[in-house]
Structures are given as structure tokens and as C-alpha cells.
Amino acid sequence: MLNRFVSMNLQFDSNRAIGYKSGSQISRVITEGWISDNMYCPICGAPILSHYTANKPVADFYCDECSSDFELKSRESKTSHIGRTIADGAYRTMIERITSSRNPNLFVMTYSDWAVNNLMLIPNHFFTPAIIEKRPPLKDTAQRAGWVGCNIEIGDIPQSGRIFIVKNSVPEDKHKVIDLYNRSLSLRTDSMDSRGWLLDVLKCVERIPFKSFTLNQVYAFEVELQVKHPGNNFVKDKIRQQLQLLRDKGFIEFTSRGNYRKII
Ligand SMILES: [Zn+2]
């Protein structure tokens, strides 16, 4: 039997669109069909994912072996990049969902000419309210006047939480994907507050364009972090605490007093 990874076919199955008229329905059936036909579980490596029956509100797919849930967001795009944001549904539903214990993992797909260009896994433990951007309410003239949607700010998620499965039309090695997922687990925390601090400070560290950096370079993000965490007046203390956690988790090392180095 052929290994499904070796045979990963990036083309959509056009037969799945037969009988559908609207563009949004067609894009849903072809992209979800592609996941059913081609995608393995990026968490435990099981060869297939199962589709939830229609209108299941929590997620689109699940893994029979490890019980993980997955939601798919896809967008047609001519550019090869995945983009910095992706539109999602209602803002309030999204915030409720990411703070719940059954928050699904997210697949972000971009495609063009009936083929997958990019597919990224964002593990559920990388979702924080800070990466959900509220869109302006729909105008009074709109059918759903007052409805508030949201965007997921993919660009604000640390590197470890953006795991490519297909990049620029090339599938990544399945074992590499699973290894990256397992490595990202060290960033999982219990409370939403500690998740926010850890991921926000990691993102600041990633934005420093050097492998070696100083405590003062991270302190430069103090005002920005204060805005994200208005309830905390001891931002510098929090920064030092998160740097220690990132050291304990193997993402950075302390080289000398006030000096650090990124490990990955
Ligand atoms: Zn699984």
C-alpha cells in the first residue's frame, strides 16, 4: 500500500463540486474533500481524519485515534504566501471558543487553480484573545446589520505555532510536521493569562532580528505589552519571568547577566 504522504496529491477533486451552484459552497466542498482524501493527523500521525457531520459547531474534522479536533479555514489566493490574517466568523463566538477546553486546532489553507498552495496547522494552544481582531460591525444597510466578525492575526502567532504541512505547493515531511507539533507542546499552559504572556514575550523575542539579544531589547516592548495586558503594572517583572520560562522550555539560553541567545 502506498504511503499517503508520498501520494499526497495537491489537486482538488472537481467531482466533489458536481451539483453545487454557489461559489462558497463549491469552495467548501472541494477544500473539505481534499482534507478527507489526503490529510493525515498532524498530531498523532494517524493516516486519515474523519469529517464531522454537517453543522457540527465545534469543528470540521476529528482524529479517531487521538480525538483531536480540527477546523479548516481556506481562501483562494493567487499569491504564494499564506498572508498575515484570515477572516473568521463571529467575534464573540470565536472568543468563547478559544477560551473553552474544546477549542479545535486550525488548518489554514490557501489555494488557486484547484490546487493547494499552502496548508498550515495552528495548534489550539496558540490561540489567545490578542490574536483575534474585531472587525467593525456591519452597516445598517447590510442583511446582518450590527454583526461583528473577526480576523485571526496569523502574523502575531509565534513561529512555533505556525506549522507548515504544505508550503509553496510542496508537502513538508510528515515526521517533521509531527515533531514540530510535539515541540510546540512545551508552550502549552493552563490558564489563558499565562498563555498570553508566554506567547507575547516569545513573539517579542522573535521580532528582535539577532540570535543574541539583551534584556533591554526585550524591555523595549514594555509599552506594547502593557497595552495587551492592561491589568498588570509590573511588566518588566513579567518579562523576566517569561524569559526564565522560555529558558526552562529550551527556546532561549542565558549567556551572561542580561544577555540571552535564541536556541531555535
Ligand atoms: Zn490523531
CA distances from 63 to 104, 110, 112, 216 (A): 11, 22, 27, 44
Distance (angstroms) between ligand 1 centre and the Cα of 38 equals 14
Kindly report the CATH class assigned to 192-262. mainly alpha
Beta-carbon count within 10 A of 259 CB: 13
pLDDT higher than 50, residue 2: no
pLDDT in tens, 178-212: 999 999 999 998 788 889 999 999 999 999 999 99
Question: C-alpha cell of 49?
Answer: 481524519
Distance (angstroms) between ligand 1 centre and the Cα of 73 equals 19
Burial of 249 (0-12, 13-18, 19+ CB in 10 A): middle
- Cell 496569523 locates to 154
Beta-carbon count within 10 A of 5 CB: 16
Distance (angstroms) between ligand 1 centre and the Cα of 45 equals 6
Look at 7-21, 22-36, 51-65, 175-189 and tell me which has the smallest mean pLDDT.
51-65
Domain boundaries, the chain: 14-185, 192-262
Residues 6+ apart with CB under 8 A from 20: 26, 29
Burial of 68 (0-12, 13-18, 19+ CB in 10 A): buried
pLDDT higher than 60, residue 4: no
Q: How far apart are CA 195 and CA 188, in angstroms?
A: 7
Distance (angstroms) between ligand 1 centre and the Cα of 36 equals 14
CATH of domain 14-185: 3.40.210.30
pLDDT in tens, 93-108: 888 888 887 889 999 9
pLDDT in tens, 109-166: 999 999 999 999 999 999 988 888 889 998 888 888 888 989 989 999 999 999 999 9
